[in-house]
Structure 1
Amino acid sequence: MNDIQTAPQTDPAREAAIAGLAAQIDLAEPATILRFGAATQTRAQEAANAMLEGAKNAETGEAGQSLNAMLAALRGFDVTKLGEKPGLVARLFGRAKAGVGSIVMRYETVRGQIESIGDKLDHHRTRLLEDVERLDRLYTATLEWFHALADHIAAGELALKRADTETIPALEAASTGPDPLAPQKLRDARAARDELDRRVHDLRLTRQVAMQALPSIRLIQENDKALSARIQSVLANTVPLWRQQLAQALAIHRMKEAGAAVKAATDLTNQLLTANAETLRQGNAEARTELERGVFDMDAVKRANAALVGTIEDSLRIAEQGRTARGQAVQELAMCEAEIRRALTAAKARTEPGKQ
Structure 2
Amino acid sequence: MAEAVRRKAEEDLKQVEDVTAVLLPEPKAELVPMKDADAPTAAEIKKRMDEIDITDSNSIISFGSAAQAELQQISQSMLTDVRNKDVGPAGDSLRDIVTTIRGFSVGELDVRRKRTWWEKLTGKMAPMAKFVARYEDVQGQIDGITDSLLGHEHKLLKDIKSLDLLYEKTLDFYDELALYIAAGEEKLAELDATTIPAKEKEVEAAPEEDGVMQAQELRDLRAARDDLERRVHDLKLTRQVTMQSLPSIRLVQENDKSLVTKINSTLVNTVPLWETQLAQAVTIQRSSEAAKAVREASDLTNELLTANAENLRAANKTVREEMERGVFDIEAIKKANADLIATIEESLQIADEGKTKRAAAEEELRKMETELRETLAAAKARGDGVGDTAGTAVPKA
Q: TM-score range by the shorter chain?
A: 0.5 to 0.7
Q: Name structure 2 gaps, 5 residues minimum.
A: 1-24, 303-397
1:25 lines up with 2:52 in the alignment: yes
Distance 2:250 2:115 in 1: 55
User: Which whole-Å CA distance do the structure 2 matches of 1:224 and 1:57 have between them?
Assistant: 18
Q: Does 1:187 find its partner at 2:219?
A: yes
User: Among 30, 39, 63, which residue is 1:12 paired with?
Assistant: 39
Asked if the contact 1:6–1:147 (Cα under 8 Å) also holds between the matched residues in 2, the reply is no
State the one-letter code of the partner of 1:216: S
Shift of 1:81: 4.9
Counterpart in the other structure of 1:321: none
Unaligned runs of 5+ in 1: 271-356
Q: In the TM superposition, what whole-angstrom CA distance separates every residue of 1:142-178 from its partner, at most 9, and x where no partner exists?
A: 1111111111011000000000111111111222113
Whether 2:155 is the aligned partner of 1:127: answer yes
In structure 2, the residue corresponding to 1:3 is in which secondary structure?
Answer: coil
**CA separation of 1:204 and 1:88: change in aligned 2, threshold 3 A:** closer
Aligned to 1:232: 264
Q: Classify the secondary structure of the residue corresponding to 1:58.
A: coil
The structure-2 alpha-carbon separation of the partners of 1:13 and 1:52, relative to structure 1 and needing over 3 Å to count, comes to same
Find the aligned partners of 2:157 and 2:244 in 1 and give their Cα distance: 23
Cα RMSD over matched residues?
4.1
2:196 touches 2:222 (CA, 8 Å); kept in 1? yes
- Equivalent pairs counted in the alignment come to 273
Decide whether the 8 Å contact of 1:60 with 1:128 is kept in 2. Answer: no
What's the CA shift for 1:248? Answer: 3.1
Residue 96 to residue 38, structure 1, CA distance change in 2 (3 Å)? closer
What are the superposed Cα offsets for residues 297-353 of structure 1, whole Å, 9 maximum, x if unpaired?
Answer: xxxxxxxxxxxxxxxxxxxxxxxxxxxxxxxxxxxxxxxxxxxxxxxxxxxxxxxxx
1:211-250 matches, cutoff 5 A: 211-250=243-282
Q: 1:72 maps to what in 2?
A: 99
Summarize the alignment of residues 180-329 of structure 1 with structure 2, pairs less than 5 Å apart.
180=210, 181-252=213-284
Letter aligned with residue 36 of structure 1: F
Give percent identity, aligned residues only.
45
Contact between 2:93 and 2:149, CA under 8 Å: does it hold in 1?
Answer: yes
Partners in 2 of 1:260 and 1:167 — Cα distance?
A: 101
**Match in the other structure for 1:165:** 193
Q: Deviations over 1:236-269 (max 9, x none)?
A: 333222122223334545666787899999999x
Give secondary structure in 2 for the equivalent of 1:196.
helix
Write the distance in 1 (CA, Å) between the matches of 2:293 and 2:99. 36
2:27 counterpart residue number: 3
Residue 217 (structure 1) shift: 1.7
Does the 8 A contact of 2:115 with 2:126 survive in 1? Answer: no
Change (3 A) 1:261 1:167: same
Displacement of 1:134: 0.8
Alignment check: 8 A CA contact 1:135 1:221 kept: yes
